[in-house]
A and B are shown apart, each in its own frame.
Chain A
């Protein structure tokens, strides 16, 4: 059977942009919330823009939480984008306190800064460690961000990339075993950034 990625469809945000990028790169992918299709895929992309609480609720309604956990625990690579990255963490403080998927220990908190929130626009991304996911991307490249909350991992070793906004240096990328996440949008960061999806597909094929 043809190897493909499953892009989780749970009614939230930037699904369309992610799919357009994958099509452009000729990466086979299915937009899905179906148990079987997710199980048969070689990797999972968890997109998302919107609110943390709503996203978890939508995942729960579609009975996707346990399914994703089962798949990730046995080693299937998962890539969270923007809100999708935040969902990988233990808990978020967006409009209350809500449990996430807990693949990475840590919390999601709001920018406390005199600067404008949301953090919208192009910001530089500094590598914190080596990764196959960043192959072909130059250190300190610019990526497009749009978010008001950011992830704070307990174990700093999971931080893949860092970004500075005002006085805050936050984890703009994480990598822990088969779990990956980016706060920025590779699919909106110009053609060069799309390499991240290509690299992720290569990782999944292994």
Chain B
């Protein structure tokens, strides 16, 4: 039986792991290669690097981080942030990333999803969506790291993206992100019900119970978390033990 995945997310700024609240107040949280290695050792199912530097000159830094990580971490690596072209994707994939996650560039140019999927396969293309709640069961897509509202409905957008070839959805609730009050269950369920590809729940993880809830009631296929792992509030092992004891299939 397929396991639910636990995915630590590393926000990388200028070659360092950082963590903020609601995309603000960044704090240093260590070396990304070391962190990825440590997470791999403690049972992470995948690693996500989000390059929040997002400036062209600094792109090399993330490529270097990916390269170093891929040489000693043998689980899937996803990289997102600042990817604008098929060439950006190729550079990351050839240096050791297994998947690339695109957000703003996909909204600006949905054909990028299609081009990427055609060239590298859908399994390489993760669509990252930053969703902000408008009212009950309505969410709006935001871009540029959560700064720009687009007027696009989240459900409409994920359906379209999957048709174009997105193989997975990395779904961040902007309302929940950094609050540690739990994932947006309704958002995850709405998206998961709307599309046939896996959904990675992101934003709001504060405890293993939050993860259990979004996997069980939010129908998520994987959970992403940052600060609860970085600050060693919980280890991946303790989270997995908790989930397993509540009937969730995880890789131990």
Contact = CB atoms under 8 A, between A and B. Distances in A.
Interface string A155-175: 000000000110000000000
Contacts of B124: 13, 49
Contacts of B24: none
Contacts of B122: 118, 148
B198 interface: yes
B93 to A, nearest CB: 7
A116 B1 contact: no
Interface size band for B: 20 to 34
A122 B74 contact: no
B2 A16 contact: no
B94 A16 contact: yes
A121 interface: yes
A51 B118 CA distance: 9
Contact of A16 (B70, B72, B168): B70
A51 B221 contact: no
Interface string B177-218: 000000000000000000011100000000000000000000
Contact of B71 (A20, A144, A146): A20
A121 B71 contact: no
B93 A16 contact: yes
A146 B222 CA distance: 14
Interface stretch (A127-135, A185-193, A198-206): A185-193
Contacts of B168: 120
Contacts of B45: 121-122
A98 interface: no
B157 interface: no
B3 A122 contact: yes
- Of B1, B2, B93, most A-chain CB atoms within 10 Å: B2
B173 interface: no
A121 B5 contact: yes
Interface string B1-31: 1111100000000000000000000000000
Nearest to B93: A16
Interface of B is mostly: loop
Contact of B2 (A24, A50, A148, A165): A165
A99 interface: no
Given A17-B98, A50-B121, A122 B251 contact: yes
Contacts of B96: 16-17, 20
Interface in A9-26: 13-14, 16-17, 20-21, 23-24
Nearest to B124: A49
A141 to B, nearest CB: 9
B167 A24 contact: no
Contact of A50 (B71, B95, B120, B251): B120
A123 B74 CA distance: 16
A103 interface: no
CB-CB nearest 10 A-B residue pairs: A142-B251, A122-B251, A50-B121, A122-B3, A146-B123, A123-B2, A49-B121, A188-B76, A120-B198, A121-B2
Interface of A: 13-14, 16-17, 20-21, 23-24, 49-51, 115-124, 142, 144-148, 164-165, 187-191, 193-194
Interface of B: 1-5, 40, 45, 70-72, 74-76, 93-96, 98, 120-124, 167-168, 196-198, 221-222, 251
